[in-house]
Amino acid sequence: MGGATGSVQSNDVDNGVGESGRAAQILADAGIPSPAQELVLLTSDSSTADSPEFKSAVSDVITAIQGTGKTIEVKSPYDSGAVAKDNHAALVNYTMSGERLDAAKEIPAVLDAVKAVGAKHQGVSFETYGQATAQDAMTGIFNTDLAKAEWAAVPLALGILLVAFGALLASVIPVVLALTATAAAYGLLALTTHAVPTDLNANVVLMLVGLAVGVDYSLFYLRRAREERAAGRDNITALSIAAATSGRAVVVSGLTVVAAMAGMFLTGIATFKAMGVASIAAVVVAVAGSVTVLPALLSLLGDRVEKGRIPFIAKRRAAANGENRFWGALTARVLRFPLASALVAVLALALLAIPVTHIKTAMPGVAQDLDPKAPLAQAAIHLDERFPGNSAMARVVVDTKGADQGAVTAAVADFKTQAVASGKLFDPITVTDHQGTGVLVLDVPIAGTGTDKASLEALDSLRGSVLPHTLRSVSGVEAAVTGPTAQSVDFNAQLSKSVFPVLAFVLVLAFLLMIAMFRSLTIAITAMVLNLLSVGAAYGVLVLVFQDGFALKAIGGHSEGPIASWLPLFLFVILFGLSMDYHVFVVSRIREIHDRGADTRTAIAEGLKSTAGVISAAALIMVGVFAIFGTLSVQSIKEMGFGLAVAVLLDATVIRGLLLPAVMALLGESNWYLPRWLAWLPDLSESTPADEDGAPSRPTAVTPVPAHAVAGLSRETV
């Protein structure tokens, strides 16, 4: 149904913040469309721009572009002065018809026409660049990468599950549920875009989160059902206990993840809102499938869930009696030396976090975000070399309604003079007068690549010096600067303002959910601190690799430089939510064993041993899926996948394997402390530990499964 309604993509007004957002709003209020500005860069080593061969190439490409019927204006370099200083390159600038977002669908016809002309002029190189050109190229790259990620993630997850379960059908079920849940989430996302417009990043986030949590939630539930069946319980009891324990943990974990991701709405930034909706849709559908479709499917399949057993794996899993020997031995060691274990873990995480102290962020340009050998990146690089500033043009939107037009005309002339005199803003400065609207648009080439120091200094000069002394000095004039550099600066400024509200929202809400889940102030505080440690360490490794360049080429990175400005806050929200997954499942089992009468140390040992196998499998799947995204073409997506993979790996090993048991052992019975003044919080701690007869001790907390639908599960343990 969602696919039938189509999806709504965010536009300039949706994405705008700060002064650049105001520029977009002025244009929208005046009814001025925002068409895509494109160009063709023609270069020749053998011919000069005034040679017959070069002029013929320029004439042919102009004719070809006009012949597509997709443009409203095509400018000859000989009229606009867009000829390089060395006289061996020229720019053909053209404007696509219609809105910029729609132009990406029409640009292929123009690009094909340019390519055909290029084939006829072997001595001249033709490269295309612009807003629609970049959008078309990036869409193709994203679609190819997403398909590659899906094809790689499925066999990886299936292989890990085969080792975990030792049965083909049991291994296939979580993968199929994850894929169908992700598909359903895409449909749900399409519906929500009519209220919250989406973008390409949201599609990537949905697939990444959907595949990871979809497999994990199903894995936790299925693992508990098989464990209870292997302990000798009948199918109804096994599924009931799974529903009351793992099912409850899945729901609470999902709520925690959703709460964390909802923090993205507080940024006031369209791309964060889109990613928030996408990730929440993925989690909600995954949780719903795990607690409804999965138990129904297990009830129908009965013993057939063990179809396709792999004998040597199944025997090894049975011999282990559902416990992981490595993690059991490690836990015993940690519980023997809890203080030393905690200190070692904290020191390791602190050392990994050190590089985050010099983190730098920026919105990456095309040349930084793509492989330098990619055609679009090559065009951006060559454009900056031949025509500095043209790949990162600043746009000044001037509202002159109510101002003296003579004064405005004089101010525009002064603006051009002072801009060029600054040495950071260049000719040709073009002025477009939108007759009848009172709005002027000035396009200004600026120094640098768009995200480097030179571009930032050029923007400061434009906003802080040139405009105040020219256009903004005229009474009644409003002038706002937009463009890639301005948008990056304004984005970072808005992000900086929203950091504290987002952090506070996520921490407080997760804290309250943890108290409600475990009825313990201590557990809630511990969860917050441990998650912050793992996120900080992941940040440090991310900076070390992608900003400082350590082992960057080894993982296929393009170039070292600032971290994508949207990534740190996004990673915090996602990682905080996902880290709570493992915390909820591990501590839930520890609490369950403790509630049966075991002391805290015994509960820690037994809880970690019984969950180590499934947590390890779940973590391997998440790390694998995220690492696959770390191999994709766009560097900011590489950073996202790499950061998530590192964080989950640290969380499942250093945090859950060392620090959590060590801290809980040191705290002892204080783990379960809840002050009276917090007793008012909702109680989500209802658990259903099995009694000696194998029946749930609290059947009222369980949703029964119809007896006629039950055929029984295998007794084989995992």
Instruction: Confirm whether 518 is domain-assigned.
Output: yes
Mean pLDDT calculated for residue range 526-546? 94
Domain holding 603: CATH number? 1.20.1640.10
Q: Which residue has the higher pLDDT, 692 or 679?
A: 679
559: three-class secondary structure by DSSP: coil
Query: What is the per-residue pLDDT for 235?
Result: 83
218-239, pLDDT tens digit by residue? 988 998 898 888 888 888 888 9
Look up residue 296 and give its two tokens: 């129904």
Residue 433 sits in the same domain as residue 575:
no
Instruction: Confirm whether 442 is domain-assigned.
Output: yes
Instruction: For residue 89, report the phi and psi dihedrals to the nearest 5 degrees.
Output: -155, 155
Instruction: For residue 97, report the phi and psi dihedrals to the nearest 5 degrees.
Output: -80, 155
125-167, pLDDT tens digit by residue? 999 999 899 989 988 888 888 888 888 988 999 998 888 888 8
Mean pLDDT calculated for residue range 406-419? 94
Instruction: Confirm whether 4 is domain-assigned.
Output: no
Instruction: Confirm whether 270 is domain-assigned.
Output: yes
Residue 295's pLDDT band, with cuts at 50, 70 and 90, is very high
Decide if pLDDT at 713 tops 70: no
In angstroms, the first-to-last Cα distance of the chain is 39
Q: Which of 488, 484, 481 is nearest to 461 (CA)?
A: 481
Instruction: Confirm whether 12 is domain-assigned.
Output: no
Torsion, CA 334, CA 337, CA 338, CA 339, rounded to 10: -140
| d(C-alpha 639, C-alpha 620), whole Å | 19
98-124, pLDDT tens digit by residue? 877 788 889 999 999 999 999 999 889
Decide if pLDDT at 581 tops 50: yes
Residue 677 sits in the same domain as residue 585:
yes
Q: Which of 649, 684, 640 is nearest to 250 (CA)?
A: 684
Pairing of strands 361-362, 563-564: parallel
Domain holding 464: CATH number? 3.30.70.1440
Decide if pLDDT at 538 tops 90: yes
Query: What is the per-residue pLDDT for 245?
Result: 87
165-192, pLDDT tens digit by residue? 888 898 999 999 999 999 999 999 989 8
2-11, 315-324, 698-707: least confident range: 698-707
Q: Which of 173, 177, 170, 176 is nearest to 310 (CA)?
A: 170
Domain holding 63, by residue range, is 36-145
Instruction: Confirm whether 8 is domain-assigned.
Output: no
Residue 528 sits in the same domain as residue 665:
yes
3-state SS, one letter per residue, for 41-110? EEECCCCCCCCHHHHHHHHHHHHHHHHCCCEEEEECHHHHCCECCCCCEEEEEEEECCCHHHHHHHHHHH
Percent of the chain residues topping a pLDDT of 90:
48
Instruction: Confirm whether 112 is domain-assigned.
Output: yes
Residue 535 sits in the same domain as residue 614:
yes
Task: Kindly report whether the global pTM for this prediction surpasses the value 0.85.
Answer: no
Query: What is the per-residue pLDDT for 398?
Result: 94
Decide if pLDDT at 524 tops 80: yes
Distances (CA, A) of 547 to 201, 245, 368, 440, 635: 21, 43, 12, 39, 12
Alpha carbons within 13 A on the beta-carbon side of 662: 21
Residue 576 sits in the same domain as residue 671:
yes
The number of domains in the chain is 4
